[in-house]
Chains A and B, each alone.
Chain A
Amino acid sequence: DTGVSQNPRHKITKRGQNVTFRCDPISEHNRLYWYRQTLGQGPEFLTYFQNEAQLEKSRLLSDRFSAERPKGSFSTLEIQRTEQGDSAMYLCASSFAGTVGTEAFFGQGTRLTVV
């Protein structure tokens, strides 16, 4: 499967615990995005990387959230001291920043439930 892969698909955690999600982008893609989506809303931008550099971070991304892409390939998103309001679908997408379009392709997401 050469698409975007996210793990785990589902995560249930207790409030206050830390969680980490992983995203493996399409191999030739140099851009990687993280989004959060709640029911009935469109995806909200969290952060994005071009290669290993984190170029943009949303104001939504509090200091409890951190993302890395250490070798410009896979990325991790960590949420520390989870709160019930963090319950959402976390989507990763990748694209190739070239001269022809910037279509992004999404993984199946990680659904986080904080209890």
Chain B
Amino acid sequence: RKEVEQDPGPFNVPEGATVAFNCTYSNSASQSFFWYRQDCRKEPKLLMSVYSSGNEDGRFTAQLNRASQYISLLIRDSKLSDSATYLCVVTSHNAGNMLTFGGGTRLMVKP
């Protein structure tokens, strides 16, 4: 079992739709959580950190559920420019604080 798991998709949605991705992690000692966005053949870029209380940044909302060991990303009012791969990232103090990536979820927003 992978340490961080994501549905690879692709999620094909029309412009304006709301879409949600989940990510599960296996290390219960995980302490920091992030969503990164990666465009085709580009480097990953930080989208948002995920806090225990949940956080929102414009059209993006991230939630953390420690009991069930998953994090989620909700995108409202999808734009064509949201088309990308969304990577879930977890760090764990008992795993050397390295960033552990999920395989990514691909989102395609269509006109």
Contacts and interface: CB of A to CB of B under 8 A. Distances in A.
Contacts of B4: 42
Contact of A102 (B42, B43, B91): B91
A101 B49 contact: yes
Nearest to A43: B101
A42 B102 contact: yes
Interface residues of A, number: 24
Could you say which interface size class chain B belongs to?
20 to 34
Contacts of B6: 42
B97 interface: yes
A47 B102 CA distance: 17
B98 A103 contact: no
Contact of A97 (B44, B97, B99, B100): B97
Contacts of A42: 4, 6, 87, 101-104
Contacts of B91: 102
A55 B98 CA distance: 10
A113 to B, nearest CB: 13
B99 A45 contact: yes
B46 A102 contact: no
Interface string B39-76: 00011111001000000000000000000000000000
Contacts of A108: 42-43
Interface of B: 4, 6, 8, 32, 34, 42-46, 49, 87, 91, 96-104
11 contacts: A40-B103, A42-B87, A43-B44, A45-B100, A48-B96, A91-B43, A102-B32, A103-B34, A103-B46, A106-B44, A107-B43
Interface of A: 31, 33, 35, 40-45, 48, 55-56, 91, 93, 97, 101-109
List of 7 A-B pairs having minimum Cβ-Cβ separation, nearest first: A42-B101, A56-B96, A106-B43, A42-B103, A43-B101, A42-B104, A45-B98
